[in-house]
Structure 1
């Protein structure tokens, strides 16, 4: 098989354009990442591979109960669920989430609660004031929790605290590995 110079040049151009396109998509729009640890179980499990939507890093795009990936202050990326937005007051009492004194259902926690082997609380009682000293979440910050409330290093802990919006890498709701769990995650 003889390949002429023009055909070879066209192939090289096509490969370069495809490579640049894929790198731009990965850098600016979508990026794969993996779940490290049990803090989001059963929603996401240790070793799951997810797609981070980098287009949703503006505050106006992030909504309550979105799952986000952010740069944690302890030197790695974390995946957690947004519970509180700027201006919100957050409290937990007897396994009930209160946002601005209104109770909120968290159906995504039901499976984890059912797996408890004791009669203890799934989420310990707290108020935003107790954890952070703030009455409401300041502008430019989010309050996040892991779905596995007993085993999550999240906004309840001083090492993580409130998450600055500018540290959010994006949202995630697509799992691509393991293949038997491929799809949109609620």
Structure 2
């Protein structure tokens, strides 16, 4: 009886250590708060964030990332600008290094807008806080998909890469919205 009890304790201890390792170094659960990523993500969506992706590599354009916005608050946004990029919006069109880019994840929001209204107000990167002509080395320009209701690089400036927690990879709750994020 005592030997069986010790085996159970050992099994729970191993499971606890593995859970801590996974939570600290590999994956983290995150709950979306607010409307800034509509229609891609909704407030209350539960996600798995991969911490290991950016330990082994770097964020890529259009990844959905979680980052430390303040000491107590994490934000979830989409990477638009990488180090060295010049970014601008003109007439609701994204330009990266002078080249027009499509943003299919915004189509539904754009179709709901009144005639003549833009989802993303015109701006150039040098108009953002910190005023650089390009995204600085080691930083990212991030925007929420719901451009009319998002606190992002337009207010915060570019985000240091070391503030990135990880990449949102899987939406697991609510069940009717289960999907891979990117």
What interval of TM-score do these two structures reach, taking the shorter chain for normalisation?
Answer: over 0.9
The structure with the larger Rg is 1
The alpha-carbon deviation at position 114 of structure 1 amounts to 1.6
| TM-score in terms of structure 2 length | 0.95
Match of 2:27 in 1: 30
Q: Report the CA distance shift for 1:13/1:73 in structure 2 as closer, same or farther (over 3 A).
A: same
Deviates more, 1:113-122 or 1:37-46: 113-122
Per-residue deviation at 1:113? 1.1
Query: Could you tell me which residue of structure 1 aligns to residue 96 of structure 2?
Result: 99
User: Which residue does 2:166 correspond to in 1?
Assistant: 170
Q: Distance in 2 between matches of 1:91 and 1:22?
A: 43
Give the unaligned 5+ runs of structure 1.
none
Decide which of 85, 108, 112 is 1:111's aligned counterpart: 108
Higher mean displacement: 8-17 or 70-79: 70-79
Q: 8 Å contact 1:59–1:165 — kept in the other structure?
A: no
1:155 corresponds in structure 2 to: 153
Runs of 4+ displaced beyond 6 Å: none
Name the CA distance, whole Å, in 1 between partners of 2:139 and 2:56. Answer: 9
Q: How does 1:135-150 map to 2 (within 5 A)?
A: 135-150=133-148
Deviates more, 1:49-58 or 1:38-47: 49-58
